[in-house]
Amino acid sequence: MKNKHIWGWPIAGYLFLGGLGGGMVVVTAIADLFLGSPAVMLWGALAGAILIAFGSGLLIFELGRPFQFWRVFSRERAILTVGAWLLSLCIVIGIVYASFLLWHGLEGLRMAVAWVCLFIGMGVIIYTGIFLGTMKARPFWNGPALPVLFLISSLSTGIAAQSLLARFLDVGSSSTLANSESFLSVADIILLVLEIIVVLLYVLIMWTSTTQSASHAAATWLKGSKKLAFWGGLVGMGLIVPLVLYLLGNSVASLVASICVLIGGLILRFLVVYTDDRTLLPGEAEFLAKLPNDDEEFLHAWEEPDHEAE
Amino acid sequence: MSRWAMVIDLRRCIGCGSCTIACQVGNKLPIGMFWNLVTTVGPTGKYPTLSYYNMPRPCFHCANPPCVSCCPTGASSQRQDGIVLVDKNKCIGCKACVVACPYGARTLNRELGIVQKCTFCEHFIGKGKEPYCVSTCHQRARIFGDLDNTKSEVFRLVYEENAVQLMPELGTDPHCYYIFPHRGRQ
């Protein structure tokens, strides 16, 4: 009965997987277009498409009527409809892009597909942040910060996953891949520094917000119920630790760093989804405080077991 | 054209909860679902200058509803007469509108898997009947009517009795107006 959060863990999981998958597709396309990376990097586009498909599955799982999910494609002006199309297109184009692992020689076509991947992947990364940012009912989300934060975090997790994938495929002996791996580390260092700046600015400025619920929500991150997840999980383990490890530069350190970046990205999405504070109407806080914690308790509170036995 | 609106006179409301129950019974809501909560504000102040009031809260049927613009399936829509409705066949229960509503008017019906809310009892409109919550209110704290009709009671209250909207700064232009009681000396 006491509805703690509107969206549950599947949405946080989707925001992570969608951002991660979109990030991998974008990073693959950028590496292919501008850095001339080896074709083996294309596995990243396939992995990205699979992760996005998995995230979309979580989105459908969270629906009240999962089997009616196709209706989401039916309205053209809503952000979520655009997002649904972007997700579907990104899955398809990611697989098409990865299929260039099989045939060679079509360089021009591959470049064209890479450009399409770049734009659609960016769309997948950013649209969720735009959707949350336009919610005027949720002062903590409302504003331009979340699309930027999600963009940086998605690219950063995408790079981390890409370097994990390169390690897993175990083709580190070729010098071009070693080059692109060190490029990935440098790019992730830059993104981590940016993310530390953006996330701190976001929370600290929200803390001074004129809207009380936004300021209260930021306080729960900084020194309230979510302080451990924010300082320890996101800022500490998810941003500062991998930054230091990447700077150390050795192979094991950057392996651990990549894993830390992924965990940090997941924690960020959970923190955001579970901070859905709304400005309460007069008397609402007192009303909510009186409600029992779950439906079962509420529905059976009036029943007396003795009375039923009679 | 008509534009349906409600004025709630908080000076009259005694917080009996009849409107909540009438709504639940009339609209056959599942147990635990409210379209029409009444919350209590206060008591505030110190004896002998105490005050408190009650706050019924249906859907505000905003002129600029954030729940409609965010709906990905077109299930939430606004009629010409201003009433915001959810099409139960089109809703997939994504809860985007629950997040978008600044007033907490929408909830998920777990049995049906769709989002529902107060409809201003649209099935009564044009049949000379008032919504359940209005007809049941023995204190006449709720006044329902057409804001485009300059002779209606809601028109008079909104434009002459200083009825106010909640959170007007959001630009949603809610069409449920409140007349607040005097706060008394604090």
SS3 assignment, position B115: strand
Q: Give A227 to chain B, closest Cα distance, Å.
A: 24
CB of B181 within 8 Å of any CB in chain A?
Answer: no
Residue with tokens 């001339």: A36
Angle, helix A251-273 to helix A175-207, in steps of 10 degrees: 30
Q: What is the pLDDT of residues B41-96, one digit of tens each?
A: 988 888 888 888 999 999 999 999 999 999 999 999 999 999 999 999 999 999 99
Angle, helix A43-62 to helix A79-98, in steps of 10 degrees: 150
**Quick check: ipTM above 0.85?**
yes
CB contact (8 A) between residue A64 and residue B98? no
Q: Identify the CA nearest to A94 among candidates A126, A131, A134, A51.
A: A51
Q: What is the pLDDT of residues A36-48, one digit of tens each?
A: 766 677 889 999 9
Q: Which residue has the higher pLDDT, A14 or A107?
A: A14
Q: Using an 8 Å Cβ cutoff, are B73 and A71 in contact? A: yes
What is the per-residue pLDDT for A55? 96
CB-CB neighbors (< 8 A) of A135 in chain B: 66, 70, 99-100
Q: Using an 8 Å Cβ cutoff, are A136 and B98 in contact? A: no
What is the per-residue pLDDT for A4? 73
CB contact (8 A) between residue B40 and residue A286? yes
Q: Which residue has the higher pLDDT, B158 or A304?
A: B158
Q: What is the pLDDT of residues A10-20, one digit of tens each?
A: 999 999 999 99
Average pLDDT over residues A18-24: 96
Q: Can you read off the two tokens belonging to residue A173?
A: 């002996």
What is the per-residue pLDDT for A310? 43
Q: Using an 8 Å Cβ cutoff, are B59 and B107 in contact? A: no
Average pLDDT over residues A51-80: 92
CB contact (8 A) between residue A299 and residue B37? no
A291 pLDDT band, cuts 50/70/90, is confident
The sign of the torsion formed by the CA atoms of A55, B105, A288, A301 equals negative
Q: Using an 8 Å Cβ cutoff, are B120 and B131 in contact? A: yes
Longest dimension (CA), chain A: 83
What is the per-residue pLDDT for B74? 92
B99 closest CB neighbour out of A1, A84, A276:
A276
What Rg value do the Cα atoms of chain A yield, rounded?
22
Q: Can you read off the two tokens belonging to residue B67?
A: 């729940």
CB contact (8 A) between residue A6 and residue B99? yes
CB-CB neighbors (< 8 A) of A58 in chain B: none
Q: Determine how β-strand B176-179 pairs with β-strand B4-9.
A: parallel
CB-CB neighbors (< 8 A) of B73 in chain A: 71-72, 74-75, 81
Q: Residue B78: what are its φ and ψ, rounded to 5°?
A: -115, 130
Average pLDDT over residues B138-156: 93
Q: CA B30 to CA B33: how far, in whole Å?
A: 6
What is the per-residue pLDDT for B162? 84
CB of B30 within 8 Å of any CB in chain A?
Answer: no
CB contact (8 A) between residue A137 and residue B112? no
% of chain A at pLDDT higher than 90: 62
B100 closest CB neighbour out of A74, A135, A299:
A135
What is the per-residue pLDDT for A309? 47
Q: Identify the CA nearest to A136 among candidates A78, A224, A214.
A: A214
How many H-runs (helices) and E-runs (strands) does chain B carry? 5, 9
CB of B55 within 8 Å of any CB in chain A?
Answer: yes
Residue of chain B nearest A142, judged by CA positions: B100
CB contact (8 A) between residue A78 and residue B90? no
Q: What is the pLDDT of residues A225-277, one digit of tens each?
A: 999 999 999 999 999 999 999 998 788 888 899 999 999 999 999 999 999 88
Q: CA A94 to CA A117: how far, in whole Å?
A: 7
CB contact (8 A) between residue A276 and residue B108? no
Q: Which residues of B32-46 are buried (b: 16+ CB within 10 A; e: fewer)?
A: ebbbbbbbebeeeee
pLDDT for residue A220 is more than 60: yes
CB-CB neighbors (< 8 A) of B115 in chain A: 64
Q: Which domains does chain B have, with CATH numbers?
A: 4-179 (3.30.70.20)
CB of B1 within 8 Å of any CB in chain A?
Answer: no
Q: Give B84 to chain A, closest Cα distance, Å.
A: 17
CB contact (8 A) between residue B32 and residue A135? no
Residue B48, Cβ neighbours under 10 Å: how many?
A: 7
What is the per-residue pLDDT for A295? 66
Q: What is the pLDDT of residues B83-121, one digit of tens each?
A: 999 999 999 999 999 999 999 999 999 889 999 999 999
Average pLDDT over residues B126-148: 92
Q: Which residue has the higher pLDDT, A156 or A291?
A: A156
CB of B142 within 8 Å of any CB in chain A?
Answer: no
CB contact (8 A) between residue A75 and residue B74? yes
pLDDT for residue A210 is more than 70: yes
- What DSSP character marks residue B36? S
CB contact (8 A) between residue B72 and residue A72? yes
Q: CA B54 to CA B176: how far, in whole Å?
A: 15
Q: Using an 8 Å Cβ cutoff, are A161 and A24 in contact? A: yes
What is the per-residue pLDDT for A218? 94
Q: CA A272 to CA A254: how far, in whole Å?
A: 27
What is the per-residue pLDDT for A1? 46
Q: CA A225 to CA A202: how far, in whole Å?
A: 18
B55 closest CB neighbour out of A71, A79, A281:
A281
Give me chain A's average pLDDT, please: 88
What is the per-residue pLDDT for A305? 60
The sign of the torsion formed by the CA atoms of B25, B28, B33, B38 equals negative
A75 pLDDT band, cuts 50/70/90, is confident
Q: What is the pLDDT of residues B1-33, one digit of tens each?
A: 789 999 999 999 999 999 999 999 999 998 888
What is the per-residue pLDDT for A287? 86
Which CATH entry fits the domain spanning A9-277: 1.20.1630.10, 3.40.50.720, 1.10.10.10, 1.10.8.10? 1.20.1630.10
What Rg value do the Cα atoms of chain B yield, rounded?
17
CB contact (8 A) between residue A63 and residue B100? no
